[in-house]
Amino acid sequence: MVRKALRSSSKKAPERDEALSRVLKAIRNHRRMTVQQVADLMTLNKRTYERFEAGEGFLKVDRIFCFARATDSDPYALWASVKMGTPDFALACIDSKLVLLFVAHARELFLQEGADLASLQAAPIVEALKVAFTMLSAELNRSRKAASRWLGDPNDPPAKG
């Protein structure tokens, strides 16, 4: 029974390793950084970094955070992207640090409320997050509209002058 559990979990490890590799490469490429640049910023030799980026060896949380500092990316969004199996989420959060900010605010709530946080039910959390994400979506829509007005909508006829 233990062997079966080890075998099934070992099947997940290669998937996780491949996803990690895709996410790390996508972030590094998005930042237009070379393997050597990231390795230097992480104080790793190039070959050690290449193995890390390839998803080889044991996954160390500290190394994920070190990579995020080196590439100015969101370590929590990076980890979530690995779990999702795609780099898209990490890239979408790379500059806003959305998940990092979420975790920071959750930490503040914990520091304020302490162990009482355990008694918080899921429903008010979901409602609060719905409100927050609706506001963020509205902000994105405002930004898109402003950009469209500034750049000019290709579907609008040119102004007669």
Q: pLDDT digits over 1-22, tens only?
A: 433 333 334 455 778 889 999 9
Nearest one of 67, 99, 107, 53 to 80, comparing CA atoms: 99
Q: How much of the chain exceeds pLDDT 90, in percent?
A: 75
Q: Which fold has domain 2-98?
A: 434 Repressor (Amino-terminal Domain) (1.10.260)
* pLDDT tens digits, one per residue of 52-108: 999 887 778 899 999 999 999 999 999 999 999 889 999 999 999 999 999 999 999
With tokens 């491949």, the residue in question is 18
**CB atoms closer than 10 angstroms to residue 65:** 14
**CB atoms closer than 10 angstroms to residue 24:** 26
Q: Where are the domains of the chain?
A: 2-98, 121-152
